[in-house]
Chains A and B, each alone.
Chain A
Amino acid sequence: MTSIGTGYDLAVSTYSPDGRLFQVEYAEKAVDNSGTAIAIRTKDGVIIAVEKIVSTVLEIPGSSRRIFPIDHHIGFGSSGWVPDIKRLIGIARDEAWEHRKSYQMPIPPKMLADRVALYIQAYTLYSSLRPFGASPMMAGMHGDEPYLYLFETSGAYYGYWGCATGKAKQLAKTEIEKLDLSNLSTRDAVKEAARIIHTVHDDSKDRLFELEMSWVCKESEGKFTRVPQDLYNEAVEYAKHSNNDDMDDDEEL
C-alpha cells in the first residue's frame, strides 16, 4: 500500500498529496473485516439481514444483536466495529426522540439519515478523533413509503434499493443485483435476504454465525421489528434448500 510510511495516513486531519484521507479508508477496512450485512427495499418495505459471526460456542445465541431499533418506524443494521456502531445508534435514537418531542411526529427517515451522516462526517475533521469504523444501513418508513440508506465511513450516504457491507459485500451486491426488486414482495425479499447471507457466508473462515433479520413494512404495520419467527424459519429453510450443493447444514447454532 502506497499510503504506509508516508506520514500522510496518521491523522484524519491530513490529506495525502493526491487528496485522499487515508484514515477514512482505514476505518472502512474495519468494516470490511466484519460480518456481512445486507438490506433490500421493496415496494412496501425494507428488510435488513446480518451475518453475525460468533467466535465461540460459549456465546449465547441471540445475544449481542447487530440490528438495532432506533424508533418505532426506523432501525439500523450494521457491519463494522460494534462499539462504534453503538455510539452511532445512541446518536440516532437521541435525534429521533428530539424530533418526536418537538413535532409530535416520527422523524422522516431522510432527515434522520442527514443528521447521522453529519455526525459521522464531523469525526473525519479533527486529528484528535478517529473516524467511525462503522458503515450502518438505515431502514425506515415515512407514511407508506419505505426508505433505505447506507452510510459510508466518510459521512457520505446514499439511498438504495439494495445494499451490502462487510466481508462479502461484493458477492452480496452481485446477488442482490440479480433480484427483480421492483416486483419482489417483502416476504420473498426476506427469503432472498436469508439465502444471500447463507450464500456469502464463508464456512472455512468463520465456522459459526447467526442470521439476524428485521424488517419494516406494510405487514409489520410500519413498525421496525424482528421478522416473525415462522417467516424466519421458512426463510432459513429456503436458504438452506437453495444452497444445498455448497453448504453444510451446520450453520444453525
Chain B
Amino acid sequence: MNSTEILNLKNQDVTENGTYKHTLQPIVTGTSVLGLKYKDGIMLAADCIASYGSLARFRNVQRLHPVGKATILAGSGDMSDFQHVQNLLEGVMLQEHCFDDEQEIGTKSIYKILSNVMYSRRTKVDPLWNKFIVAGIENGESFLGYVDLYGTTYQSPVIATGFGSHIAIPILRKYAEPRASDLTEAEASEILDNCMRVLYYRDARSFNKIQKAKVTSAGIEITEPYSLSTNWDFAESIRGYGA
C-alpha cells in the first residue's frame, strides 16, 4: 500500500469497534438499462433521469457512454461511480491511442477491464455501486455482457439491470431472445421502446425521456433523447395506482 492509499484509509469513517465503513448505499442513481442482440448488432436503451432518493434530481443525463470505436457502456446505479468508471476508461483509451500501433483494444477487453475493477473493489468491500451493460462488436462478433457491484459477470442475448431485470426481462425473453439472429433494427427498436414504456408505468424511478444506442459494423450510433408516448387510461381502473 502506498502513502496516498494509507492516507485515504485514515480518512474513511471508522466505526466504534474499529472497522472501516466504505460506501454503504448509492446516492444519485440511474434506474434500469436494457440491451439486446439483433440481426445487425447490439441495441441498448436507458432513460435520462438520475434520482436523488425519490427526488427526480437530474432529468437530462446520458447513461449510454461510448468507449472507443465499437463499444458502449450502459450504466445504472450510482451516477458518480459511473462517471468515475468513464474517466477510468478514458485513461485506458488514451493509453491505447498513444501506442499508435493499430492494435486498439475491443469490446471484450473493455469488459474484462471493467470486470476486474468491479471485482477488485468488491473484494476490498468498497464497491462501485453499479450494474453495467457492456455492448459492442469485435472481429465481426456481437458482444453483450453484464457486470455489477459484486463483480458478477454474465453474457446473454438479452440483458436488463435493476427494475428491468424483473419487468423487462420476461418481455425480452419472449420477443427478442429466440429471434436474436434475425430480429430487424425496427423490431429491436420497438421491443426496447415497449420495455421502456412498461418500465415507465411500473418503476417510480424511471422516466419516459429515453435514449437508445446501437453498435453495428458501421460503428456506434446514439440517439438524441426522445419521449415515449404513454397512455394512462388503464390507471383509472386500478385501485391504488395513480389517482
CB nearest to B91 among chain A residues: A97
Q: Is B87 an interface residue (CB 8 A)?
A: yes
Q: Of A65-73, A139-147, A160-168, A227-235, which binds chain B?
A: A65-73
Cβ contact within 8 Å between A69 and B90 = no
Cβ contact within 8 Å between B91 and A69 = no
Docked Cα-Cα span, A92 to B97, in Å, equals: 14
Taking CB atoms, residues of chain B closer than 8 Å to A69 are 97-98, 100
Taking CB atoms, residues of chain B closer than 8 Å to A218 are none
Q: Is B94 an interface residue (CB 8 A)?
A: yes
Docked Cα-Cα span, A211 to B85, in Å, equals: 40
Q: C-beta contact mask, A82-97 vs B, less than 8 Å → 1, else 0? A: 0000000000010001
Taking CB atoms, residues of chain B closer than 8 Å to A101 are 87, 91
Cβ contact within 8 Å between A97 and B94 = yes
Cβ contact within 8 Å between B98 and A100 = no
Taking CB atoms, residues of chain B closer than 8 Å to A93 are 95, 98
Q: C-beta contact mask, B71-94 vs A, less than 8 Å → 1, else 0? A: 000000000000000010011001
CB proximity of A215 to chain B, nearest CB, Å? 14
Docked Cα-Cα span, A72 to B96, in Å, equals: 11
CB proximity of A222 to chain B, nearest CB, Å? 14
Cβ contact within 8 Å between B90 and A100 = yes
Docked Cα-Cα span, A68 to B101, in Å, equals: 11
CB nearest to A65 among chain B residues: B100
Taking CB atoms, residues of chain B closer than 8 Å to A68 are 98, 100
Docked Cα-Cα span, A71 to B96, in Å, equals: 10
Cβ contact within 8 Å between B94 and A71 = yes
Taking CB atoms, residues of chain B closer than 8 Å to A65 are 100
Chain A interfacial positions (CB closer than 8 Å to B): 65, 68-72, 93, 97, 100-101, 104
Known: A65-B100, A72-B94, A93-B95. 10 other contacts (CB 8 A): A68-B98, A69-B98, A71-B94, A71-B98, A72-B97, A97-B91, A97-B94, A97-B95, A100-B90, A100-B94
16 contacts between A and B (CB under 8 A): A65-B100, A68-B98, A68-B100, A69-B98, A70-B98, A71-B98, A72-B94, A93-B95, A93-B98, A97-B91, A97-B95, A100-B90, A100-B91, A100-B94, A101-B87, A101-B91
